[in-house]
Amino acid sequence: METAERVKSYEIPQRTVALSALLEDVGTSILTAPRGADLSHEVGSVAIYEPGVESELGPRSVVLLVGVEGPANIASTAALLRRSGVQVVVVRGGRDPGAVDGEVASWNGVTVLSALRGTSWADLTGLIQRALSARGSSACGRSDGSDGDLFTFANAVSALLDAPITVEDRNSHVIAFSGRQDECDDSRIATVLERQVPDQYLRLIEEAGIFDKIYRSREPVWISGASLGTRLDRVAVAIRAGDEYLGSMWAAVDGNLTLARTRALADSAQLVAVRMIELRTAADPVKRRQSELLADLVEGGSAATSAMERAGLGSGSAMVIALGRRSGLHRDRPDGTAHLGRLVDAFAVHLGAVYGQSVVAMINGIGYAVVALPSRSHGADADAARISSDFLERVRAHDDTILGVGRVMSRPEDLGRSRRDADHALDVLRTRRIEGCVATFRSVYVDALLLQVSRESAAEGFSLLGPLTAIARHDDEHSTVYLPTLEAWLSAFGDIGAASASLHVHPNTFRYRLGKLRSLQLFDLDDADTRFRLMVHLRIRHLQ
């Protein structure tokens, strides 16, 4: 009895491509055809074969034979599907899929492709879908041939080093890779499939300080597989154009390279840099124009008015949101920009879905968004803070990612002030004086003012003046705790019970300490102006 089948099909409407083009876009290291296979078939969808339930199949489907193994089972299933018009099927392959599955490569006209062993069916489905939908545009990376030279070059370097190669930009996105990726470990396979380093491996690389080593070194850097949790070691080299860091080239190796091959990798990186600059010049005009527009917008003045119109944001109310890192990593380091760059791209999508009209780009290591509003409605900045918090929750950003929301400006020329607001909010968040990872300038403007005063007072040496310095010196020299006592008393507005509880001491002990502090006669605690000055000075000390 013949087995009926059910197919879950994911159609790409009104789009078919040649099978040869599909293999090129997905990558022949991921999806392989046996020698002599017919690659002229036109395909337009990907489908998953499931035994047991009857359904109709289309002749343009690439059918994934999940759970079908062995030449005999593949042959019988291919023959069965051919009756429904299916021309292309995919099976799980091995190191040499052509040798394993060659005997059924053209069974009754059905071309049998082999997927790289270790590739999940879900990943493969996604890769084929993206390739089908993106063919003819630049989205699939190699469809227009503009970066074909990089793939060719990656294969040449791979042959030179006898190791699989990936070329990554400064945000750890894979822009080219060589063949032989099937010889690698799960980390490399996932990197090639997703076209970027997966987050779990990226965190390991960042936490181990590997990006910093690559960035600082002019020579290839060897990384042990044990430190990354991978089967193979890695050798990586920075790709630079002059002093500008463009990305890195990675080789998966079993042990370190010889001196000659290490030198060859370093020399190859220089040639890759030339091609990357050419590609960037040709491929990034849209992103560059957006960055230029945003720079004009957040600068304010007359340039902002013109930029609002060019960006299609109208001429009404708008505000600025800033996205940064709490840790204050150097802005030109790849480990700082890799994480932030992906978040800024995701934030642009998030804001576009909520507001519709926004411009988002990176300027000097900070992600800025200018959001156009229909009117200067009350609470728009608070709404933006809520939307920003929702974004952090959705992307599961850790505590290091922070967002500051500026005030709403009714005129584009005032957007420079909103940008400064957002920057001030980020500054306050970095001090950890307030809870959370998102703040509006309206809610932290007093802290921002004090922070500004704190910096100016430190620059002028004012922090060394006043009675608090004398109290702190007395505490250091005599092991007293008068400064914490004063701060607790002022924070509790003179309530001895609350103040003593905050320091976990008996009220009588607190009264004794306060009395000894008064006996120093450094200030008059009964004077309201004196108490106010002391509270401000204490807050400024904490911010320095």
Q: 3-state SS string over 374-386?
A: CCCCCCHHHHHHH
Which residues, at least 6 apart from 307, have a Cβ–Cβ distance to it below 8 Å? 293, 294, 296, 297, 412
Higher pLDDT, 36 or 441: 441
Q: Provide the percentage of residues in the chain whose pLDDT is more than 70.
A: 78
Q: Are 144 and 138 in contact (CB under 8 A)?
A: yes
At 403, which helix (H) or strand (E)? strand 401-405
| DSSP for residue 505 | -
Q: Are 80 and 101 in contact (CB under 8 A)?
A: no
Lowest mean pLDDT, pick from 33-42, 175-184, 323-332: 323-332
Instruction: Please report the pLDDT score of residue 463 as a whole number.
Output: 60
Average pLDDT on 493-519 reads 90
Instruction: Please report the pLDDT score of residue 322 as a whole number.
Output: 95
Please give the Cα distance from 192 to 28 (Å, whole number).
12
Cβ-based neighbour number of residue 314 at 10 Å: 14
Please give the Cα distance from 216 to 182 (Å, whole number).
31
Please give the Cα distance from 308 to 288 (Å, whole number).
16
Bridge partners (DSSP) of residue 31 are: 115
152: Cα within 13 Å, side-chain hemisphere: 7
Give the pair of three-digit tokens for residue 533: 């000055």
Bridge partners (DSSP) of residue 241 are: 244
Tell me the three state secondary structure of residue 188.
helix
Q: Are 369 and 345 in contact (CB under 8 A)?
A: no
Residue that is written with structure tokens 């109290």 in the block: 471
Instruction: Please report the pLDDT score of residue 316 as a whole number.
Output: 81
Give the pair of three-digit tokens for residue 88: 């292309």
127: Cα within 13 Å, side-chain hemisphere: 26
Dihedral of the CA atoms 95, 97, 99, 102 (nearest 10)?
A: 180
Lowest mean pLDDT, pick from 100-109, 382-391, 440-449: 100-109
Is the pLDDT confidence value at 506 over 90?
A: yes
- What does the pLDDT look like over 228-250, one tens digit per residue? 888 899 999 999 877 678 889 99
At 111, which helix (H) or strand (E)? strand 110-115
b/e burial code for range 397-430 (CB count within 10 A of at least 16 → b): beeebbbbbbbbbeebebbbebbbbbbbbbbbbb
Most confident of 369-378, 472-481, 500-509: 500-509
Average pLDDT on 469-482 reads 85
What is the rounded average pLDDT for all residues in the chain? 78
What are the φ and ψ backbone dihedral angles of 397, each rounded to 5 degrees?
Answer: -70, 140
Instruction: Please report the pLDDT score of residue 133 as a whole number.
Output: 60
Instruction: Please report the pLDDT score of residue 139 as a whole number.
Output: 32
When pLDDT is cut at 50, 70 and 90, the band that residue 71 belongs to is confident
Please give the Cα distance from 287 to 285 (Å, whole number).
6
When pLDDT is cut at 50, 70 and 90, the band that residue 135 belongs to is low
Average pLDDT on 115-128 reads 67
Higher pLDDT, 146 or 495: 495
Give the pair of three-digit tokens for residue 242: 């002059």
Rg for the chain (alpha carbons), in Å?
31
Task: Sort 150 into a burial class: Cβ within 10 Å, 0-12 / 13-18 / 19+.
Answer: buried
Instruction: Please report the pLDDT score of residue 321 as a whole number.
Output: 95
Report the candidate in 131, 129, 69, 133 with the shortest Cα–Cα distance to residue 104: 69
Is the pLDDT confidence value at 134 over 70?
A: no
Q: In what order do the strands lie in the sheet with 165-169?
A: 174-177, 165-169, 244-253, 233-241, 221-223
413: Cα within 13 Å, side-chain hemisphere: 2
Most confident of 240-244, 318-322, 397-401, 538-542: 318-322
Q: How far is CA 171 from CA 168, 198, 394, 406, in A?
A: 8, 12, 20, 27
Instruction: Please report the pLDDT score of residue 142 as a whole number.
Output: 38
Lowest mean pLDDT, pick from 3-12, 227-236, 433-442: 3-12
Whether the model pTM is above 0.85: no
Is the pLDDT confidence value at 146 over 80?
A: no
Q: Are 82 and 58 in contact (CB under 8 A)?
A: no
- What does the pLDDT look like over 269-297, one tens digit per residue? 877 887 776 666 555 556 667 778 888 89
Give the pair of three-digit tokens for residue 303: 């340039």
Instruction: Please report the pLDDT score of residue 98 as a whole number.
Output: 40
DSSP calls for 125-183: HHHHHHHHHHTTSGGGSSTTSTTHHHHHHHHHHHHHHTS-EEEEETTSBEEEE-S-GGG
Bridge partners (DSSP) of residue 244 are: 241
Task: Sort 122 into a burial class: Cβ within 10 Å, 0-12 / 13-18 / 19+.
Answer: exposed
When pLDDT is cut at 50, 70 and 90, the band that residue 328 belongs to is low
Higher pLDDT, 433 or 361: 361
Is the pLDDT confidence value at 173 over 90?
A: no
Helices of type H across 370-520: 380-394, 415-431, 441-460, 467-478, 482-491, 496-503, 507-519
Please give the Cα distance from 234 to 208 (Å, whole number).
14
Is the pLDDT confidence value at 165 over 50?
A: yes
Please give the Cα distance from 7 to 84 (Å, whole number).
11
Residue that is written with structure tokens 């119109």 in the block: 309
Cβ-based neighbour number of residue 54 at 10 Å: 9
Is the pLDDT confidence value at 369 over 90?
A: yes
Bridge partners (DSSP) of residue 385 are: none
Residue 104: what residue type? V
Is the pLDDT confidence value at 219 over 50?
A: yes
Q: Are 303 and 293 in contact (CB under 8 A)?
A: no
